[in-house]
Structure 1
Amino acid sequence: MKLHNAIIALSAITCATAFASSPDPLQAYPAAEAGFVRKVIQLPKVKNPELYRVQLLAGKMMEVDCNQTRLAGELKEETVQGWGYNYWVLPEVKSGISTMMACNPKEAKKSAFVAVYSEKLYRYNAKLPVVVYVPEGIELRYRIFSAKEKTQMAMDK
């Protein structure tokens, strides 16, 4: 029985080492389907990853005026079968919402990044790449948010 457990443990270590040292860390993730591009973010290692979150911003450069403009779409979380790794797919991007302020007619339109609206923050994990599939022509940008380690006490009232 001990020999059997040792063989299983050695096999698991060999598989994990082979994947970790693989020249292509994305081998577990599916290739992008026609009309889509696979975007990859490798997050830097941090001391306390539980204090960090990532915001994914899919969008494109557009001519905009003084109004706030957003695109519409929804990132859907998927799992790599057999591996358990998460990745995200943005199935489509539609024209979204815009405020309706009267802009100064003397102000020229400007080119700006317009993102698919989302306030969602994702778990920070520097051990695996963040893999997102977006339609061709869509950029992927991201922000990293961090919290202070010190917490504050809520008051009884």
Structure 2
Amino acid sequence: MKAVRLLAFISLLLAGFTVTAAEPLDAFPAAQKGMERFVIVLPQHDNGQEDKLKVEIIVGREILTDGVNRQRLGNSIEPRSLKGWGYTYYEVTGSSEVISTLMAAPEAAEKVKTFVSAPSLFVRYNSRLPIVVYAPAGYEVRYRFWQAGEEMMAEKK
């Protein structure tokens, strides 16, 4: 009987114990070799305002272009779940080759340093947790906010 009580006490003690990180970033893994970790800390907004906001994550790198053609990187931004925490982080995957249109550029055209990006990703605005992005070394992570207007429209049948 004493063994059952002791086991019940230990079970209750362990059930009340939860693992928490001192800082939200402590839960996220360090960047793997050849990757860099970028952290976006969002400013807090008034109650209900965050529901109207989205964050566009843009990853890319600056390269020399001809200034005429449009370039895009072949990568994509994939959401990943942090096991045991339920947090989401984002990883840049896929080919880092540059895709370009093939318009003829003038021979005398100077090369222009341009930020070339992969397709962007829109995520929910949440100031309580940082947005963590793992991208290949040499890449930049940029972001911008999008806000919905106050007016909502309904389609008539």
In 1, Cα distance between the equivalents of 2:29 and 2:150?
37
Measured after TM superposition, the shift of residue 103 of structure 1 is 2.5
Pair 1:59 & 2:60 matched: yes
TM-superposition CA deviations, 1:48-104 (whole Å, max 9, x none): 111111111111110012111000112121111111110011134421321222223
Partner AA of 1:108 in structure 2: E
Say if 1:58 and 1:93 are closer, same or farther in 2 by CA, change over 3 A.
farther
Partner AA of 1:84 in structure 2: G
Match of 1:70 in 2: 72
Q: Could you say what the CA RMSD is over the residues aligned between the two structures, in angstroms? A: 2.3
Match of 2:103 in 1: 101
TM-superposition CA deviations, 1:107-145 (whole Å, max 9, x none): 312101110123x31111111000011111111111111
In 2, Cα distance between the equivalents of 1:126 and 1:93?
31
In 2, Cα distance between the equivalents of 1:83 and 1:128?
12
In 1, Cα distance between the equivalents of 2:37 and 2:54?
21
- Paired positions, count: 142
Would you say the 8 A contact 1:93–1:116 is kept in 2? Answer: no
Name the SS of the counterpart of 2:93 in structure 1: coil
Match of 1:142 in 2: 143
Match of 2:39 in 1: 40
Match of 1:30 in 2: 29
Name the SS of the counterpart of 1:75 in structure 2: strand
Segments of structure 1 that go 5 or more residues without pairing to the other structure are none
